[in-house]
A and B are shown apart, each in its own frame.
Chain A
Amino acid sequence: MDAYAPQKKERVFGDVVLSVDDISLSFGGVQALANISFGVREHQVLAIIGPNGAGKSSMLNVINGFYHPQQGTITYKGETRRQMKPHQAARQGVARTFQNIALFKGMSTLDNIMTGRNTMMHRNLLWQALHVGPARKEELEHREFVENIIDFLEIEHIRKTPVGRLPYGLQKRVELGRALAAQPELLLLDEPMAGMNLEEKEDMSRFILDVNDEFGTTIVLIEHDMGVVMDISDHVVVLDYGRKLADGSPDEVRSNQEVIDAYLGVAHD
């Protein structure tokens, strides 16, 4: 841009926080993932790309413990595991959004995001139901945190609107809000921009980068829009029919012949 654009600092990443080693996953005779390995470093934005059926969503499901791979291990924050339950992943600071929005349609934006705080509420059901004393105090603290997220994502105007009535782009934003409410260290986004128009995509990209920047959250995302992927990610993993085709910086991946053949098509520049 011009001379006064903000001076981007050199992106600094920490150690490898999530490492996927030799993962294979099959459903009956269908091999969804075959010997996949890659690592995600702290504060990185990593994109997984690939054609439909490449195994991208399966990969995310393996990471957050929803699918159990037949082979291979996942090391998250130094802890190696083969199998984990999604709620354990959640407690370890992994949050995600879904390809098909999975919100409570009849509940308001505010309530939906509040559910993201669920793992952090300590009072038991009885206290919560009575809604007095410590339970009330706890809820106020969580509400305050959620209000920060609402402010961050600029969704004040739909705070009290039932989510089912919102347009798609906003629902996606609410879903991101709910994932953020869990204060994740690792955020998994499954096609955060699918079905959005250009303006909504720009907004969403900005929010993702802001999350990464302000909270230092490590992000793994699946996306089809190559423009977006190349712009916002630090590292790209390319899958094709369960195999890993390439793994590198956006520029490396863009110029990889195998990737071009399988997925990108001819480079236009």
Chain B
Amino acid sequence: MRGSRPAIREKDFGIWQTWNWAQTEKEIRALACGLAAYGFERGDRLAIIGDNRPQLYWAMVAAQYDGGVPVPVYQDSVAEEMQYVLEHADARFAIAEDQEQVDKLLEIKDRCPRLEHIIYKDQRGMRDYNHPFIHYIEDVQEKGRQYDAEHPGYAEGKVNEGKGSDIAIMLYTSGTTGKPKGVMLSHDNLIITARNGAIQEGLTENEEALAYLPMAWVGDNLFSLSQAYVAGFCVSCPESSETVLTDLREIGPTYFFAPPRIFENILTTVTIRMEDAAPFKQRMFKYFMELAKRVGTRILDGEQVSFMDRLRYMAGNILIYAPLKNVLGFSRFRVAYTAGEAIGPEIFDFYRSLGINIKQLYGSTEASVLITTQPNGEVRPDTVGKPCLDVDIRIEDNGEVMFKSPGVFVGYYKNEEATAETKTSDGWVHTGDAGFFDADGHLKIIDRAKDVGKLTDGSMFAPKYLENKLKFFPFVKEAVAFGNEKDYVATFINIDLEAVGNWAERRNLPYSGYTDLADRDDVYDLVQECIEKVNVDLAADEHLSGSQIRRFLILHKELDADDGELTRTRKVRRNFIADRYQELIDALYSDKSHIRVEAEVTFEDGRKGMIKADVKIREAAMTTVQPMKEAG
């Protein structure tokens, strides 16, 4: 059928190495038989640790081939986090990309008594590791080919034993609270959801996709594996995490997923680079970007646009839009999804005005990703769209969004209690998000249901909503808002080192690093301006005018997943931060103008260090609410 079509590519030694579907099948079969030769049995768990590599994707399918369950682990987890997952999942086998990951596994092996075999993909530096339980992947495959020859019918038999209701994969959700939970998804969950998604977007075997997001994340699993297998398109693995943008340009994907942060980063880079361009080019860019802002989105949505504007837009396409898209690797996008966090309206409109079909998606691990997407022609920056094929949604009385779909997870591994809390007996799942349907039937998400609180004067406080508004400014990287049961709203700010650093360079302000920059009065002024703009916006909204930001501080260190302040997908862990920085919060709700702090940081190799700093606190101007006239 498609045997000779490309299935997966990896850039290695500077060249895109390709495997077609027939070769892929052979590799997987060899690996599956190799695992079996080492005693991998039905129901066994295989932990997978590493960057996106064809061999690791094969390992996933190979485990499924044998009736086992792959458990991808975030590759940047420190040893303790990895230990938790491996131990909890009772993994007997693990496959690691390279020496770095093997070392982590060896460090925790004593504490994971069930871990029996470690397989590695990259031979570099592995010469002296001659333990009997460490195997090189090609040796495993070779052994598998022998095993296959000696046990005819084994592989076919194993595949036929499999059922749609078997557990296909276990994904540990990063969890904004508590320990990660192992979400069990069945083959049916993944395949039906993948197929529904493919039908909805008309995906074919001609798509090109780039697999660059962590393999342990459900999205990568759906977009780079399930949908690739269902629709038969080719997935490319970048050379290394640093080369993603170059590889993106070389591959020119047609089907793309990126969290808002990546789109933001790309836009920031474009803006910074345009500021360095020649004045004529800058003027041209400005003129055509304004034109695009005015008519681009409408052209993409198929609305009526005057003939002259269309003509101008065509000229812009030749001079600016097409070359820009080409440089970014966005030329061939048919569908680009973004999800995970709210995306800034300016960022969203920037890409859409260039004619890039970027759409928002709302999903969760428990749904095998897809809950809602924005249909073509109905894309807006502030909603997450309509329910996907076969998905039912209802809104609870407290505003919480609940869904039911073929992708609903089987349960949390070894955690009946959490399963019962999340999933009702008739298959409805709590998302934990508060939201509502607008007049056009689009779902709008405001915040985590449990995070929505009230100030002491009774006005509504939606922290995420405020934080997102702040984060839409390029200078603000992260924000954490406080205010539940307090007199007023106060925030922590993390500045964006790249954007603020660039801004400082332009003003000839020397600085030595984040902590130094964050302490500058000029930078405080800059952030204050952003906050006051948010306050003006909030004042215009009758529900939220009470939650304007009164006091703020710029944190002396960047919030970091290694310190447990962010999840691995870079979401703020509110309670953890509230505990850790209690002193700072108290200071925000006092009349102090600065506070001295010491904080512990964890480096990537597990060592710890201290940072000391004097953090300033500022007040921002609040906008008085204009008394609104009752509309007649």
User: Interface of A with B (CB < 8 Å)?
Assistant: 2-9, 143-144, 147-148, 150-152, 154, 156-157, 159-160, 206, 210, 213-214
Question: Beta-carbon contacts of B8-32 to A below 8 Å, as 1s and 0s?
Answer: 0001111100000000000000000
Question: Beta-carbon contacts of B223-244 to A below 8 Å, as 1s and 0s?
Answer: 0000000000000000110110
Indicate if B129 sits at the interface (CB-CB under 8 A).
yes
The minimal Cβ–Cβ distance linking A141 to chain B, given in whole angstroms, is 13
Number of interface residues of B (CB under 8 A): 21
Chain B residues with CB below 8 A from A213, complex form: 125, 127
Contact B13 A144 (CB under 8 A): yes
Chain A residues with CB below 8 A from B125, complex form: 206, 210, 213
Contact B243 A4 (CB under 8 A): no
The minimal Cβ–Cβ distance linking A221 to chain B, given in whole angstroms, is 20
Chain B residues with CB below 8 A from A152, complex form: 124
User: Interface of B with A (CB < 8 Å)?
Assistant: 11-15, 106-107, 109-110, 124-125, 127-131, 239-240, 242-243, 246
The minimal Cβ–Cβ distance linking A110 to chain B, given in whole angstroms, is 8
Q: With A4-B131, A156-B242 in contact, is A151–B106 under 8 Å at CB?
A: no
Contact B124 A210 (CB under 8 A): yes
With A6-B130, A152-B124, A214-B124 already in contact, 4 other A-B pairs whose C-beta atoms are closer than 8 Å: A6-B129, A7-B128, A147-B14, A213-B125
The 3 closest A-B pairs by CB, nearest first: A157-B242, A6-B128, A4-B106
Chain A residues with CB below 8 A from B127, complex form: 213-214
The minimal Cβ–Cβ distance linking A34 to chain B, given in whole angstroms, is 41
Across the two chains, which residue of chain B brings its CB closest to A148? Answer: B13
Contact A159 B128 (CB under 8 A): no
Chain B residues with CB below 8 A from A154, complex form: 240
Provide the main secondary structure of the chain A interface: helix
The minimal Cβ–Cβ distance linking A214 to chain B, given in whole angstroms, is 8
The minimal Cβ–Cβ distance linking B114 to chain A, given in whole angstroms, is 15
A2 and B124 CA atoms in complex are apart in Å by 21
Across the two chains, which residue of chain B brings its CB closest to A2? Answer: B107
- Which of A6, A144, A157 contacts B243 (CB under 8 A)? A157
- Which of B14, B110, B242 contacts A3 (CB under 8 A)? B110
Q: With A144-B13, A150-B14, A151-B12 in contact, is A8–B242 under 8 Å at CB?
A: no
Chain B residues with CB below 8 A from A8, complex form: 128
Chain A residues with CB below 8 A from B12, complex form: 151
Across the two chains, which residue of chain B brings its CB closest to A146? Answer: B14
**30 A–B contacts, CB within 8 A, in A order:** A2-B106, A2-B107, A2-B110, A4-B106, A4-B107, A4-B110, A7-B128, A7-B130, A9-B128, A143-B14, A144-B13, A147-B15, A148-B13, A150-B13, A151-B13, A152-B124, A154-B240, A156-B240, A156-B242, A157-B239, A157-B242, A157-B246, A159-B14, A160-B246, A206-B125, A210-B124, A210-B125, A213-B127, A214-B124, A214-B127
Across the two chains, which residue of chain B brings its CB closest to A6? Answer: B128
A2 and B239 CA atoms in complex are apart in Å by 32
A206 and B107 CA atoms in complex are apart in Å by 19
- Which of B106, B128, B240 contacts A157 (CB under 8 A)? B240
Chain A residues with CB below 8 A from B14, complex form: 143, 147, 150, 156, 159
Across the two chains, which residue of chain A brings its CB closest to B15? Answer: A147
Chain B residues with CB below 8 A from A5, complex form: 106
